[in-house]
Amino acid sequence: MTTTTTIDPETSLGRLVGDHPEFAAVFESLGIDYCCGGDTSLRRACTENDLELDTVVERLATTDSTDELAPAEASITELVDDVVETHHDYLRAELPSLERTVRKVARVHGDTHPELEAIEATFLELQEEVTHHIADEEETVFPEIRKLENGAPPTAPEEARIREAIAHLEEEHDDAAAHLEEIRTLSDGYAVPSDACTSYRNMLDRLQLLEADMHRHVHKENNVLFPRAERALESC
The residues of the shown chain that bind Fe ion, judged by CB under 5 A, are 137, 221
- The answer for 31, left when phi > 0, alpha when psi is -120 to 50, beta otherwise, is left
CB of 30 to Fe ion, least distance (A): 24
What one-letter code names the amino acid at 182? E
CB of 137 to Fe ion, least distance (A): 5
For the chain, what is the radius of gyration of the CA atoms? 19
CB of 51 to Fe ion, least distance (A): 28
Task: Give whichever of 211 and 221 is closer to Fe ion, judged by the CB atom.
Answer: 221
- What is the helix, strand, coil percentage profile of the chain, to 5? 75, 0, 25
Task: Give whichever of 115 and 129 is closer to Fe ion, judged by the CB atom.
Answer: 129
CB of 101 to Fe ion, least distance (A): 23
Task: Give whichever of 33 and 221 is closer to Fe ion, judged by the CB atom.
Answer: 221
Task: Give whichever of 106 and 141 is closer to Fe ion, judged by the CB atom.
Answer: 141
CB of 232 to Fe ion, least distance (A): 18
**Cβ neighbours, 10 Å, residue 81:** 15
Task: Give whichever of 33 and 137 is closer to Fe ion, judged by the CB atom.
Answer: 137
| C-alpha span between 110 and 229 (Å, rounded) | 46
Cα 213 to chain center, whole Å?
Answer: 6
| C-alpha span between 223 and 36 (Å, rounded) | 8
